[in-house]
Amino acid sequence: MPIRPIVKYGERVLHAPARPVERIDDAIHALLEDMVATMYAAPGIGLAAPQIGVALRVIVVDLSVGADKQQLIRLVNPEMVEREGEQKHEEGCLSIPGYAGSPARPSRVVVRGLDPEGKPAVFEASELLARAFCHELDHIDGLLFVDRLSPLKRDLMKRKLRKRVREGWEE
Ligand SMILES: [Zn+2]
């Protein structure tokens, strides 16, 4: 399971909507394996394919970061079918290291997609899992948590990030 480099803020693939997966084949299985390995190595609780430079609608989430195999979620072509309420907690992003913000998220979501075998999978989530789903679903739509902040905070952070992009992200 090769660990792939994580693409940083400013790279085009992170700021454009990803394409749906048409067929779940060996290439998608390999992609999912690499995404899980990369998420655990980071370490992080979620990763979307664009974060390793692949513009496909594929996400992985594991709140236990590998400690509990039951918690690993791998979804192809996920979509949010229900959302309600609101919560606000600090979030970071592996593609924006060193920065955090508190975007408004729904307090409860229902997410539907395909599992690695191509079977329909549905998850109802609240609290941290709901935030993780929202964060990763945003990634496949080309949105980052920064884009969800209030205009004042967003502009401030984007100014700082543009400077970081010009100077280059150090590894
Ligand atoms: Zn992220």
Dump pLDDT digits (tens) for 46-80.
999 999 999 999 999 999 999 999 999 999 999 99
143 CA → ligand 1 middle, Å: 9
Q: How confident is the model at residue 1 (pLDDT cuts 50, 70, 90)?
A: low
DSSP 45: S
32 CA → ligand 1 middle, Å: 16
26 CA → ligand 1 middle, Å: 25
Residue 136 annotated as catalytic: yes
DSSP string across 49-85: GGGGT--BSEEEE-TTTTS-GGG-EEEEEEEEEEEES
Residue with tokens 């959302």: 83
From 136, 167, 170, 171, the catalytic residue? 136
User: Is the C-alpha dihedral spanning 43, 113, 71, 127 positive or negative?
Assistant: positive
CA distance 28 to 75: 11
Average pLDDT of the chain is 97
10 CA → ligand 1 middle, Å: 13
CA distance 48 to 57: 8
